[in-house]
Chains A and B, each alone.
Chain A
Amino acid sequence: MAGVAELMGAAGMTLAAAEGPEIPQIDEFLPPEILFAGTPFAMNRIILVRVIMTVVMLLILGISASRAKLIPGRWQGFVEWGIEYVRDKIVYEVMGELRGKRYVPMICTIFFTIFFFNLCGIIPGMNIAATATIMMPLIFAAWTFVQYWIAACREQGLISYLKQECTPPGVPFPVLILLVPMQLIDILIIRPASLTLRLLANMIAGHLIVALCFSATQFFLILTENKLMMGAGVVTFAFGFIMTLFEAFVAYLQAFIFATLSTVYINMSYPEED
């Protein structure tokens, strides 16, 4: 990882020196603090994007909700479709209506927020996903983590849950020596970490690819004098265009995966039906 980063950094420096295209850097995800620098509530570019997107999302959904009528218009129908999608296709599909009812608000919050934040990556002017720093995915993962432990203690008790997760029936004793630590690591670390890293890495990689395509396009079409490079610019632009559309899909897909896995993890805390 570090080696690759070093290589990229070195390549970037070299190309920049050679007046090549500007290669997007890892430290774009660690931008300088621009507001309240040095305080615990300092803001960098990504956090500013995150706060702005929060306000935009609350305005859009808030106005939709306050204007909601019995007979829905086109927009309200679309918003309702989104809610019913999360409720029916994610929560009820995984855990059924009886268990799922109490988790609909939580999964809706996770799905809509992650989806809106991911979309920032392809909104001109923002150009970076609001979920592209470690804390935003991590805090959603932490919420899921807390919820599935609470559900475990409430529904079957801690001991019963640990027994269910760590010692599946029919596994011989020697295997348990290996299995129990693995399962413990899974429910304590792997589940929240995988939720966090999957989302974060997707957003970072998506931004790097799209930024690389457009910076190359900029270089080939405008900055360079060599007209033969124009063809390459067209190709990189087309690829960037496609990747932008793909990022829109990834924005939804990652929100869907995060929401679905959260639901699955919480559902696994419930006692298995015999």
Chain B
Amino acid sequence: MVTMAEGGIDLFLPKSYDIFWSAVILIVVAIFFYKFFLPKFQSIFDERTAKIEGGMAKAEKAQAEADAAKKKYEDQLNNARIDAAKIRDDARSEATHIIADARTKAEADAAQITATAQKSLESQQQQALVSLKGEVGALATALAGKILGNKLSDADVQSTMIDSMLDELDKQGAGKAAK
């Protein structure tokens, strides 16, 4: 065992094998860190940064696309609304038109029907008048003949005569109605 005095100084005097192994180890670890460990992690860091930046750019692009699509759909929707309003207006005006036409036609038809009815009534009235005139004449003639034929002796005869004339009238009226 060396004395402690020598040992104390020896601590600071490098042994040749200590130099050798320290140098070997330094070179090994330095090569490891320089050539493998740090480049590897640096590439991972770079790749990660690129990926994050790429992801952000992609998200921005997607956002822009979504905005554009939204705008497109909104435009389309607006156009559709305008079209619908236009179609509705057209339909409404057309309907008004149709109703107006129909009304005009109906009024015309009504007027025509009224006119026809009037005409028919007038002609029937005329006919009735003509026929009445003729029958009244015949009746008057017949009545006068009967009055003259039955001598008009008493009140009974008169009454009978009037009754029979009225029956005649009724008969004739009924026959006319049936005709």
Where the two chains meet, the residues of A that have a C-beta atom closer than 8 Å to any C-beta of B are: 1-2, 5-6, 8-9, 25-27, 29-30, 33, 36, 39-44, 47, 50-51, 54, 57-58, 61-62, 65-66, 68-70, 79-80, 83, 104-106, 108-109, 112-113, 133-136, 138-140, 143, 200, 204
Chain B residues lying within 8 Å of A58, measured Cβ to Cβ, are: 28-29, 32
* Contact status A143-B4, CB under 8 Å: no
* Contact status A83-B5, CB under 8 Å: no
Query: Known contacts A58-B28, A105-B38, A109-B34; is A40 also within 8 Å of B11 by CB?
Result: no
CA distance A133 to B11 in the complex (A): 7
* Contact status B4-A2, CB under 8 Å: yes
Q: Which of B43-51, B86-94, B143-151, B168-176 contacts A (4 or more CB under 8 A)?
A: B43-51
CA distance A44 to B20 in the complex (A): 12
Contact pick for A47, options B10, B17, B38, CB 8 Å: B17
CA distance A247 to B28 in the complex (A): 26
Kindly identify, within residues 8 to 43 of chain B, every residue whose CB is under 8 Å from any CB belonging to chain A. 8-23, 25-26, 28-30, 32-34, 36-38, 40-41
CA distance A54 to B28 in the complex (A): 9
* Contact status A40-B20, CB under 8 Å: yes
Interface size class of B (residues with CB under 8 A): 35 or more
* Contact status A47-B32, CB under 8 Å: no
A61 to chain B, nearest CB (A): 6
A259 to chain B, nearest CB (A): 12
A33 to B, closest residue via Cβ: B17
Query: Known contacts A6-B4, A25-B4, A26-B4; is A109 also within 8 Å of B30 by CB?
Result: yes
B44 to A, closest residue via Cβ: A68
Question: Is the C-beta of B1 less than 8 angstroms from some C-beta in chain A?
Answer: yes
B33 to A, closest residue via Cβ: A109
* Contact status A109-B29, CB under 8 Å: yes
Query: Known contacts A2-B9, A26-B7, A70-B51; is A65 also within 8 Å of B40 by CB?
Result: yes
CA distance A135 to B45 in the complex (A): 35
* Contact status B19-A135, CB under 8 Å: yes
Chain A residues lying within 8 Å of B38, measured Cβ to Cβ, are: 83, 104-105, 108
Query: Known contacts A5-B7, A140-B26; is A108 also within 8 Å of B33 by CB?
Result: yes
* Contact status A61-B17, CB under 8 Å: no
CA distance A206 to B32 in the complex (A): 29
Chain B residues lying within 8 Å of A70, measured Cβ to Cβ, are: 44, 47-48, 51
CA distance A133 to B36 in the complex (A): 28
* Contact status B36-A65, CB under 8 Å: yes
Contact pick for B29, options A26, A57, A134, A138, CB 8 Å: A57
Query: Known contacts A65-B36, A70-B44; is A2 also within 8 Å of B28 by CB?
Result: no
* Contact status B18-A47, CB under 8 Å: yes
Query: Known contacts A47-B18, A109-B30; is A30 also within 8 Å of B10 by CB?
Result: yes
